[in-house]
Chain A
């Protein structure tokens, strides 16, 4: 109890940016990708996102799964349409739609996102729900693991007996979740939370120099894409 384990996270340029700016850029890139028709401009867009991707630690299994799914998509669409360049373009467009947001999401600490949503005066239940999902998702994963182990102790290997999933895994998990939900409601009240009472925000997200810099860089990037596409 006396010694907490050290778990500092390093911060970088992208982490310091206002979450709304990142979401805005993400939306702008997706919208732009829908209007692009040149493969070169699409390459500038996707290339830029790929550069950003290097700033982020993407879990290996997710990266491999995404690459596999993308390859399957590209090959299947090329095979169906018989047009390889069109298929490449569509694959790039799919990347342009799917990639910007996760890149930006992985550089946004959840607390910052929740604080910015709170600041945007969204209904309090939304920020509460996000807080709870973020906090208790790992705990429910832990519960799932323990229930899985309890099945093994009874001689049931769920990997080989999917018919047991419902009674052996889902039902006990739901019972745990319902119990947790009741206790968390009480826990929130003991901490003074009320969805109807006013809450202060001690750390409002403010505009900083890094945000200005980010805006300039984003505008340059979007301008370059437009120039390559339309020459303007």
Chain B
């Protein structure tokens, strides 16, 4: 299990030496003997499936583990020659700009300028210097005209950029970012990449945890993959280009019924909502598998919400099993349409995994079968919130499939599944469609498209 990946450089900014970490209640380490150097002016990427340990490595590096997670850490983290293994997150953030996945939890004030000031006040800078640094940051990041804008109303990308502004005000040597592209649209991704490149040119180091490697082609100095707790050097040029993925090559963009006599279960008529361009008209027949394709922010989730009744269209109308849904309530539509949300935490209500699936009208045998299909039967007595994020997504899917809807909507739920679990999940969905259910989903994962062979509806063309 031991892997050594020490890249030679006389004065690395950050060194990780033989770092191992074992989570609370586990006997096997999640990370084992990790060695990694980060040099000035480098962009290094850490990739790997969820569960591979990349978030754990980030936690160890930033001090979140074991301080906030518990567990046992061995080995050393050295910054510019100083052993910082025992330092708190705050101590490390003196020279390390840390951007977590959910930037909401890193912003604390009401307005843009106040947020920059907040961080500087925390470090007890003299008031005069705070004013100077704040003004400089507002100018550098082109925020001068937006300094009084309210943070609550900013988009995820805007918040992330503001956080980076705040962190970079103090010129940290190292920037650590945890999946920063997750909620960004194409323009946002481009802006962030430019910003990171600038920083690298200035001699700062960037460590990026990211699984969407196609976005980073040609940028990183080194890329590592974490597999089963060990670090391996990856070559990004070996990855398939986006053009090779099935998103680009598969099927037509406006699918028609597969069989002329197939039952139409869903049909849209000139639906539009908010500021989005009008959605294309489409029909879905029993047994169909449909992928909604498009960049972040193009309206995929909005369209799913329209189909489920959570949103009502500004124009146009929706027909499910031949019935107009305009005046129907969500709870009525829910009898035929199941919707698995992106965040499963909102959708788990029971006290055990089995109880989550055992809803009114579901037999024990059906529930058991579903749990087995989704590889959850071994933890059927566990509390749903004790599961990993990937397991929670499978459970939320199970709870929806148990109600045997005619149409099942999935919003990016394949994220965070290892190969085996993803296969099980897709198999359950295949069974659902083979029995006459219709599936409409969003996913960034080309593997999913390969395995499900869906009809594709492009929303950004």
Contacts and interface: CB of A to CB of B under 8 A. Distances in A.
Task: Assess A/B contact in the complex (Cβ within 8 A).
Answer: yes
B457 interface: no
A185 B68 CA distance: 9
Contact of A172 (B114, B143, B167, B346): B346
B82 to A, nearest CB: 18
B165 to A, nearest CB: 12
Interface stretch (B11-19, B28-36, B94-102): B94-102
Contacts of B252: none
B343 interface: yes
Nearest to B106: A187
B110 A183 contact: no
A110 interface: yes
Contact of A203 (B62, B111, B117, B310): B117
B105 A175 contact: no
A81 interface: no
Interface residues of B, number: 77
Contacts of A37: none
Given A1-B157, A153-B334, A191-B93, A168 B349 contact: yes
A1 B185 CA distance: 9
Given A138-B152, A200-B121, A187 B105 contact: yes
A155 B334 contact: yes
Contacts of B350: 167
A149 B347 CA distance: 9
B108 interface: yes
A210 interface: no
Nearest to B102: A183
Q: Is the interface of A mostly helix, strand, loop or mixed?
A: helix
B158 interface: yes
Interface residues of A, number: 58
Given A197-B124, A199-B124, A200-B121, A189 B109 contact: no
Contact of A152 (B102, B104, B161, B330): B330
A172 B121 contact: no
A203 B114 CA distance: 10
Contacts of A182: 68
Nearest to B385: A175
B127 interface: yes
Contact of A1 (B117, B166, B188): B188
Interface in B248-296: none
B436 interface: no
Given A187-B105, A190-B100, A194-B90, A155 B149 contact: no
Given A157-B331, A189-B89, A150 B347 contact: yes
Given A7-B149, A8-B148, A191 B68 contact: no
Interface string B180-197: 000011011001000000
Nearest to B91: A189
Given A1-B158, A6-B149, A191 B308 contact: no
A5 B150 CA distance: 9
B162 to A, nearest CB: 9
Contact of A167 (B154, B157, B185, B349): B349
Contact of A200 (B104, B127, B329, B334): B127
A190 B62 contact: yes
A198 B124 contact: yes
Nearest to B359: A154
A149 B411 CA distance: 15
B9 interface: no
Interface stretch (A47-55, A82-90, A139-147): A139-147
Given A4-B154, A138-B152, A189 B349 contact: no
Given A5-B153, A146-B346, 6 more contacts: A7-B153, A155-B331, A187-B105, A193-B90, A202-B120, A202-B130
Q: What 4 pairs across the A-B complex have the smallest Cβ distances?
A: A1-B157, A192-B122, A189-B89, A152-B330
15 contacts: A1-B184, A2-B191, A111-B110, A143-B346, A146-B343, A153-B347, A154-B403, A167-B350, A172-B348, A180-B105, A187-B108, A190-B100, A191-B119, A199-B122, A201-B121
Interface of A: 1-2, 4-9, 109-111, 131-132, 134-135, 138-139, 143, 146-147, 149-157, 167-168, 171-172, 175-176, 179-180, 182-194, 197-204
